[in-house]
Chain A
Amino acid sequence: MDIRVQPATFDPGAEANAFTAASRGSGAVVTFTGIVRDTEAGTLRHLEIEHYPGMTASSIKAIAGEAVARWSLDAVLVIHRHGALAPGEAIMMVATAARHRAGAFAAADFLMDYLKSRAPFWKKEVRTDGADWVDAKAEDEAALSRW
């Protein structure tokens, strides 16, 4: 289990390659990369991501541990950034490795749903016309009931 919470940029392609290279016994690797999306009007200066340092890594470990147990994952990687991130930058990445693709896909989907609503991160949109905290979406909370 590789969990990283960091302000620094990362290279999703290089991470995916390294993760895959280390997963020789696995038949399936699924990766997901979350990107900072600009507003429709193109006004986003950056996304400010705040987190709870004492709790972030431990809560992600707990979520990832559940995914490993539930889908018998061979490996799991979670990278989540914090700080100021410009449109187009990678915010986070999840990778799962399993014997078969169904488990790798389901575990990645599960991890994303839980990271959205249960990992202590908060996003603030800093735009050319103001700044606002991003509200949690009811559908993100509802998505947890799928699991």
Chain B
Amino acid sequence: MTVDLLYFAWVRERIGLPRERVDTDAATVGELITELAAREERYALAFSDLSALRVAVDQELSSLDAPLTGVREIAVFPPMTGG
């Protein structure tokens, strides 16, 4: 399946891209992140500490165990600092 990945803040800076489209057979968001981390050093660097990452699935806050079936957009970012 194909999903759009969006990166924000230092995740975006470490990967060097704001967004990309990827093909994956991963079953969950966490599996996709592990797959990317194995792909290249910059992903490994961005995803080295999973506890420091937050994810949104189709623009709703979600978790790493969220299934990828039918998902179109995944965002990966550090804990939010609004306000």
Contact B9 A122 (CB under 8 A): yes
Chain A's interface: helix, strand, loop or mixed, by majority?
mixed
How many residues from B make CB contacts under 8 Å with A? Answer: 18
Contact of A52 among B6, B78, B79, B83 (CB under 8 A): B6
Instruction: Give the chain A neighbours of B9 by CB distance below 8 A.
Output: 50, 122, 124, 133
Interface bits B57-83 vs A (CB < 8 Å: 1, else 0): 001110000000000010101111111
Q: In the complex, how many angstroms separate the beta carbon of A84 from the nearest chain B beta carbon?
A: 15
Contact B6 A112 (CB under 8 A): no
> Does A34 have its Cβ within 8 Å of any Cβ on chain B?
yes
> Does A121 have its Cβ within 8 Å of any Cβ on chain B?
yes
How many residues from A make CB contacts under 8 Å with B? Answer: 26
Most buried by A among B8, B12, B60, B79: B79
A-B contact pairs, 18 of them (CB 8 A): A50-B8, A50-B12, A55-B56, A55-B59, A58-B59, A112-B83, A115-B82, A117-B82, A118-B80, A119-B80, A120-B8, A120-B56, A120-B80, A122-B9, A134-B81, A136-B78, A136-B80, A141-B79
